[in-house]
Amino acid sequence: MIETIQRVLWATPGWAAQANAAGLDEAAVAQVMEEAAKLARDLLEPMAAEADARGCRLEDGRVKTPAGYPEAYKRLGSDGWICADLDPDFGGMGLPVALHVAASLPFEGAAMPFMMALGASRAGAHLLADLAPDLRDDWCPKLAAGDWAVTICISEPDAGSDVGRIRTRAVQDGPVWRLSGTKCWISFGDHDMTDRIGHLALARTGTVEEGTRGVSLFLVPNLTDDGKDNGVRIERIEEKLGLHGSPTCVLRFEDSEGTMIGAPGRGLAQLFTMIELMRLQVGGQGAGITLRCAELARGYAAERRQGGAPSKAPPAIASHLDVARMLDAIDAQALISTALMVEAAVAVGDGQGDYAAFLLPLAKTFCGEGAQEVASTAIQVLGGSGYTREWPAERLYRDARICTIYEGTTGMQGQDFLFRRLLRDGGAGLRAFAERMRAERSPGVGLALLTRFEGLSERVAEAGHSGQLAAADGYLRAGWACVSACLAERIAAQGFDTEMAGWLALAPARFGLAEAQVEFGLAQG
């Protein structure tokens, strides 16, 4: 796995320059990646199965996490992994974001539910560093060290993606604000890994009629600065399909003291610093699970022996053509997901905001969908063994299902990709992608699909709003078919031609299906 990630990383245009600017050569990068792999293998993976089996529980109003969690969280914090890409002035190591993303993939594949806590703290540290000068000196170093943690608190029972309907109310009380209301689906809303947990919460400071313009952002710690209870109550832990090792909590704020971050009424816009980093993490979760499933399926298929002539020893099932087909499909998805994550992270590191914003809905959606498909295929490769809890494939399958739901559903990503990235931004991200690929690639499947996608984008941009709404999902999938084909050709040129052959052979059909979905949506609208 690690060798594959490194090959993809160094093959990504722009990474070598970022590594050089950070004083990192191939040996230094390899050392970072090898340490990440070692921690994933020796520290995280051994606790993942037990965490899935035992889950989290509520004891005396507090969440008790699975065995090993507090120690693992502290270890990753003390070793610098939680906020590796944060500025050293705020407790980070200042690593390029692309290296942080690459090194996180083994962690996500080993223990995705546990890693959700680290992802929230990392994203929160970046938000506080950018927007809260009065808080960052206290909070950021402690978040980076694993001493404190943060959550993201948006959803409510009557307001999920519809943020404008939030009812949690914040009222000013002298120099502080006091929040009252209920938040749901809060990952690691409480736990025993750190003493202090800060909730980055949206609450209403304006009228209901103002919608999102009446919502502000607050940091609400579970303990006040003098160590007193701050009225944050845990109502329950959700029972879920997967992610049993991640406590998804319903929280109730009871006159809880909070500090406003940024300007009043601009909470959602300010929280997007954290939301976008967490969406990037979701893409990494999908890519990490995909890589782990590829490793698992290949290893099992090389050792499991079945079939062949009765007079001879049975061959490894990897030699059976149908199994080989599935293994190649798994490998292709793993490579492309990795390439997409690194491409997006390099764009973030280079300050290519339009290009990064264009890639983010694709990374969030299709690394997640790919993880579901690959985990399912890995179960198929393992056969009856894959369906049992003796092997981690079924757990990875259950855990991966959330990736296309939280941090913005696939439908929301489709609308973001169309209405923001194409229409509002004038197609700036698409133009950046097109220029990059045409400068890099010789004519082939990828560039042919790019031309078709540009034409499709023009037709969608000229359509009416209702037609665009109906076509958004298909448009997102057409973008993925185009981008993945271009990335597949890059990967094939690095010596992965066998793994990419099937993906590229099916790329025109994949695009055609998405294109037909768009045309149908435009007609229906």
Cα-trace Rg, the chain = 23
Which amino acid is residue 196, in one-letter code? Answer: R
CB 110 within 8 A of CB 45: yes
**Pick from 24, 49, 149: nearest CA to 389:** 49
Assess contact for 204 and 265: CB atoms under 8 A. no
- Strands 57-59 and 169-173, by their bridges, are unpaired
Instruction: Quickly list H helices, 186-308.
Output: 267-303
**Burial of 259: CB neighbours in 10 Å, binned 0-12, 13-18, 19+:** middle
Handedness of CA 157, 160, 163, 164 (dihedral sign): negative
Helical pair 26-39 and 97-131, crossing angle rounded to 10 deg: 80
Check if the beta carbon of residue 393 is closer than 8 Å to that of residue 293.
yes
Distance of CA 229 to CAs 21, 253, 254, 257, 431, Å? 46, 11, 11, 10, 52
**φ, ψ (nearest 5 deg) of residue 204:** -85, 125
| Catalytic member of 407, 489, 499, 515 | 407
Q: Within a 10 A sphere around the Cβ of 524, how many other Cβ atoms? A: 11
* Dist. CA 110–CA 502, nearest whole Å: 28
The whole-angstrom separation of Cα 346 and Cα 146 is: 26
The helix/strand/coil state of 241 is coil
Look-up: residue for tokens 């990967």? 491
Enumerate residues 6+ apart whose C-beta is below 8 A from 165. 156, 158, 159, 208, 211
Residue 407 annotated in active site: yes
Residue labelled with tokens 């943690």: 149
459 by Cβ neighbours in 10 Å (0-12 / 13-18 / 19+) ranks as middle
DSSP string, 366-378: HHHHHHHHHHHHH
Catalytic residues: 407
